[in-house]
Structure 1
């Protein structure tokens, strides 16, 4: 993946984070915050953005998996 694509993905994940937080989700993103790399940090390296994307995605998914319900999802569409 190119650096520009990683930055774009980083920005998209940041939007997902904002949506979860606006809905009241309590996300543990301390590891992501410790990196100090934001989607707007275009001067940072590709490796820095890759690490940030993984930490952000991991933080979002681990926090949301704790809130997941055990309700079965219907296999058919409406």
Structure 2
């Protein structure tokens, strides 16, 4: 449970900051997806954007946690 918190909590905070910065610069009505304008409401666009940022940030935190393993932990899981 602690590793899950170590991944999700920092990524949640950074995703919130990224969304504020992104949507301060870009209006939701000006977004295009595959060459087509996005017709979602601004709240839906903000929500989708937040979860997208959170997913990317969680992936980054998960990779950091993965690469922090010691050689003993790696070798132990390989022998099991």
TM-score normalized by the length of structure 1: 0.41
TM-score of the superposition, structure 2-length normalised?
0.40
Higher-strand-fraction structure: 2
